[in-house]
Amino acid sequence: MLKLLLTPNRQSCWQGLVRSPYSTDSKHVLLRKTIQSFGVGKSSFLQTTRGNSLRPSLRPAHTVTGGTTSSGPRVVRVLLGGTGVSLTLGYQYRRWFVHCEAPANRLAGQRYALEDERVRFDWWKFWRYLKHHLGKLIGAILAALAVAYFNIQIPNLLGVLVNKLARYAGSSLKDIDTASFFRDMRGPAFQLFGMYLAQSGFTFLYILLLSQIGEQMAASIRQDLFRQIIIQDLEFFDHNRTGELVNRLTADVQDFKSSFKQCISQGLRSFAQLVGGGISLFWISPQLASIALVSVPVAVVMFSLLGRSLRHLSKKSQAQSERATSVSEEALANIRTVRASASEYSEVELFRVETEKSAVLSQQLGAGIAVFQALSNLCLNGMVLTTLLLGGHFMSANSISAGDLMAFLVAAQGVQRSLAQGSILLGSVIRGMTAGARVFEYLNLEPKIDLKHGLTIPAESLRGEVRFEGVEFVYPTRPNQRVLRDFSLVLRPGQTVALVGASGSGKSTVASLLERFYEPTGGRITIDGYELAHISPSWLRGELIGFIEQQPVLFGTTIYENIKYGRPGATREEVLQAAKLSQSHDFVSKLPDGYDTMVGERGIQLSGGQRQRIAIARALLKQPTILILDEATSALDAASEAVVQSALDAAVLDRTTLVIAHRLSTIRNADVIVVLNQGQIVEVGNHDSLIKQRGYYYELVKQQERQQQQQQQQQDQSPGQDSRVYG
């Protein structure tokens, strides 16, 4: 049996120790890999050594075993799951196989969502949602108070009934007058039955009202929260993971709603019984009640300090739970990438680590709540014991009677039960208020770019001229890395301008700025003389600009609805016309359900070229004046690229078009080609003039031509190749 022990060392590297019990001297292999490159689909071994000694003093993070075989080459193969890298080393006698599932470090650098102590529960925001249900809330409170009243009165009435029964207990059946017995019992019995009915009715009423209030408030909060999240700038989504946002929309709102309903229902009853019991205590014996009251301030101070620690633990617990949810959501949303990288167990391990952290924090929170409840019971039982001792002293001094002491103890037990119930509710209150603080934190966010406010360009002035004047830009997530430097460019009406350059040169950033996904940090952008910062973003993206991405995203609905998404008010004839312009109509018509064909999640039921043509139709349906093509064909094969490129050539006619080019062969006919290098324009011209200059563009073209030739040679040679597969 072969074992691999994988541990992180002090140099932020991973070490693997391979041991074989079949060799006389235990062989060792040291694998080292930096954390930075320890991600899904990519890794590199910085050092590989062999030796006879390796101090295994580090705590093993994983132990994985594998089988053996006596046939084949004399090698040992170590496959690091989630990295796509295998290491093969020579051995003398046998071949061993080991599959090590190492956790991908794709959470490195991610911040925890909410552990800021400055974030507090927003009572004013809570009132804004609650005030719309004030009538029902008052009804629920009155019903809960009625239940509490009946809970206080029912024991007294039971006592009256028991006293009447006690009068007959000493008599034999022969001496009991049946008519008199039922006449005496009928009154208290019917009163008690009526109270039980009333208690049940009011219980049903307050639970029903609270359920309606809770569900309606939760729905309103979810709707407002989703609206507030979706209107945020892209900078917000750069900083926050999708799983964390979904967790606030679902789990946090649910926790807050459950806590609200529980606190009102149980808390209100406990409070009413506490008040009623307290009045009874002072009514029976003011002396004993005053002595019991002395311990209340001490308990309040102690419990408030403990409650503060529990609130902090609750915030950490929910933030970690949010992190675990984000791991699962991200893995499931990218299941094909996970499967292609053989990272299933890597994701399972990552989720296990995050959920275990969440479980530890939740256990700590549960332990804190348990301590709170234990201390509460200790204090309450101490009060009862003190009452007995002092009550006995007062009874010996004839200050109170035995009956008064018994009544005081019964009332004290009622107060004790109410306080104990309150201590149990504390955990729900803390979790609910923490969840509410997290929800209200996002409800209070305002986007930097207001989607609805701004001007629209009059139709008679709309020509489609775009000007970039000295634009500077840095991404908020990378404030020290300037992406665009003094970028100035003019796109004439109806002109096709292509941006080319190496990866990371700022091409897609130009498109993002034109769409107002971000605001430039310097300079300005104008459209037909109107400054882009003053134009309504909703009108800009909804009517003026059509945007076609490299990897178009379709929604899990029909082809017809996906095209119509570009302009919801479009007629069916307009949708079909857009499909024809994008060369989608023919392939859609051949499908069994035609335009009613469901495309699956993210359009997975369609090919890449088909998805791209649907995206083109969606953009053309808006009849945009300006069209942005962000490497729209770079992810397609040659056959699909030819069809899509034909559709794009038709789409750009009579439109100002900005093309972000990856394959330079697709922009030979562009009116202007702008070459970017490290955020700066280094060359401008058409294809022929730039080739003659033999500058940066010329080198890019030649480089791509060489790559295409190499790929073609590999494809020509691949059918006759005799490839070896080890292991």
pLDDT in the model for residue 473: 93
Q: What is the pLDDT of residues 27-71, one digit of tens each?
A: 333 333 322 333 333 333 323 333 333 233 323 333 333 333 333
pTM value is 0.62
Statement to judge: residues 639 and 544 lie in one domain: yes
Range of the domain at 255: 123-285+400-443
CA-based nearest residue to 419, from 372, 360, 473, 357: 372
Number of domains making up the chain: 2
State in Å, rounded, how far the first CA of the chain is from the last one: 17
Q: What is the pLDDT of residues 271-286, one digit of tens each?
A: 777 777 777 777 777 7
Here the CATH number for the domain that contains residue 199 is 1.20.1560.10
In this model, does residue 613 exceed pLDDT 80?
yes
Statement to judge: residues 193 and 279 lie in one domain: yes
* d(C-alpha 3, C-alpha 78), whole Å: 10
How many residues does the structure list for the chain?
Answer: 727
| Strand bridging mode 95-101 / 68-69 | antiparallel
Q: HEC states along 608-659? A: HHHHHHHHHHHHHHCCCCEEEEECCCCCCCHHHHHHHHHHHHHHCCCCEEEE
Task: Tell me if 255 is assigned to some domain.
Answer: yes
Q: What is the pLDDT of residues 101-124, one digit of tens each?
A: 334 445 544 444 444 445 677 788
More confident residue, 696 or 174: 696
Statement to judge: residues 225 and 160 lie in one domain: yes
Query: What value does the mean pLDDT take over residues 655-679?
Result: 85
pLDDT in the model for residue 469: 92
Q: Confidence class of residue 73 from pLDDT cuts 50, 70 and 90?
A: very low
Task: Tell me if 145 is assigned to some domain.
Answer: yes
Contact 349, 378 (CB under 8 A): no
Scored b (16 or more CB within 10 A) or e, 157-171 reads: beeebeeeeeebeee
* d(C-alpha 286, C-alpha 289), whole Å: 5
Statement to judge: residues 469 and 424 lie in one domain: no
Q: HEC states along 265-276? A: HHHHHHHHHHHH
Query: What value does the mean pLDDT take over residues 310-325?
Result: 72
pLDDT in the model for residue 701: 84
In this model, does residue 401 exceed pLDDT 70?
no
Amino acid of residue 568: P
Query: What value does the mean pLDDT take over residues 160-189?
Result: 66
pLDDT in the model for residue 307: 64
Task: Tell me if 581 is assigned to some domain.
Answer: no
CA-based nearest residue to 636, from 657, 665, 656: 665
Query: What value does the mean pLDDT take over residues 74-87?
Result: 35
Q: Say which residues have a Cβ less than 8 Å from residue 468's Cβ, sequence separation at least 6.
A: 487, 488, 489, 490, 510, 513, 523, 525
Q: What are phi and psi of 482, to 5 degrees?
A: -80, 125
Q: Is 491 helix (H, G, I), strand (E, B) or coil?
A: strand
Task: Tell me if 560 is assigned to some domain.
Answer: no
pLDDT in the model for residue 91: 34
Query: What value does the mean pLDDT take over residues 623-629?
Result: 87
* d(C-alpha 671, C-alpha 495), whole Å: 6
Statement to judge: residues 434 and 484 lie in one domain: no
Statement to judge: residues 247 and 180 lie in one domain: yes
CA angle 623/546/659 to nearest 5° reads 125
Statement to judge: residues 523 and 428 lie in one domain: no
In this model, does residue 270 exceed pLDDT 70?
yes
Task: Tell me if 5 is assigned to some domain.
Answer: no
- C-alpha of 629 from chain center: 30
Handedness of CA 548, 551, 555, 558 (dihedral sign): positive
More confident residue, 317 or 301: 317
Q: Say which residues have a Cβ less than 8 Å from residue 354's Cβ, sequence separation at least 6.
A: 107, 320, 323, 324, 327
Q: What is the pLDDT of residues 2-36, one digit of tens each?
A: 334 334 433 333 334 433 333 333 333 333 332 23
Cα distances (Å, whole numbers) of residue 467 to 149, 487, 661, 666: 75, 10, 20, 24
Give the strands of the sheet with 62-66, arranged side by side. Answer: 14-19, 2-8, 62-66
Q: Which DSSP letter does residue 92 get?
A: S
In this model, does residue 158 exceed pLDDT 90?
no
Here the CATH number for the domain that contains residue 704 is 3.40.50.300
- C-alpha of 532 from chain center: 32
* d(C-alpha 453, C-alpha 519), whole Å: 15
User: What are the strands, taking DSSP E only, across 385-492?
Assistant: 466-474, 482-491
Statement to judge: residues 474 and 407 lie in one domain: no
In DSSP notation, 4-61 reads EEEEE-TTSBEEEEEE-TTSSS--EEEEE-BGGG-BTTB---SEEEEES---TTSPPS
Query: What value does the mean pLDDT take over residues 141-165?
Result: 74
Task: Tell me if 377 is assigned to some domain.
Answer: no
Query: What value does the mean pLDDT take over residues 147-172?
Result: 68
pLDDT in the model for residue 170: 57
- C-alpha of 123 from chain center: 24
Task: Tell me if 357 is assigned to some domain.
Answer: no
- Contacts for 391-394: CB closer than 8 Å, 24+ residues apart: 391/285, 391/288, 394/285, 394/287, 394/288
* d(C-alpha 622, C-alpha 542), whole Å: 7
Q: Confidence class of residue 524 from pLDDT cuts 50, 70 and 90?
A: very high
Statement to judge: residues 238 and 274 lie in one domain: yes
Question: Across-strand partners of 680?
Answer: 677
Statement to judge: residues 434 and 475 lie in one domain: no
pLDDT in the model for residue 723: 38
Q: Is 340 helix (H, G, I), strand (E, B) or coil?
A: helix
More confident residue, 697 or 347: 697
Statement to judge: residues 437 and 501 lie in one domain: no
Scored b (16 or more CB within 10 A) or e, 176-199 reads: eeeeeeeebeeebeeebeebeeeb
What does pLDDT average to over the chain? 72
Q: Which residue has the tokens 């503060």?
A: 308
- C-alpha of 6 from chain center: 30
In this model, does residue 359 exceed pLDDT 50?
yes
Residue 516 gets the label, from left (phi > 0), alpha (psi -120 to 50) or beta, of left
Query: What value does the mean pLDDT take over residues 301-309?
Result: 65
Task: Tell me if 77 is assigned to some domain.
Answer: no
| Strand bridging mode 2-8 / 14-19 | antiparallel
Q: Say which residues have a Cβ less than 8 Å from residue 22's Cβ, sequence separation at least 6.
A: 68, 93, 94, 96
Q: Confidence class of residue 320 from pLDDT cuts 50, 70 and 90?
A: confident
The C-alpha torsion from 319 through 325 and 327 to 332, rounded to 10°, is -160
Q: What is the pLDDT of residues 419-467, one digit of tens each?
A: 767 666 776 777 778 788 888 888 888 888 777 788 888 888 888 899 9
* d(C-alpha 278, C-alpha 296), whole Å: 12
Query: What value does the mean pLDDT take over residues 226-251?
Result: 81
Statement to judge: residues 423 and 463 lie in one domain: no
Q: What is the pLDDT of residues 633-645, one digit of tens each?
A: 665 666 666 777 7
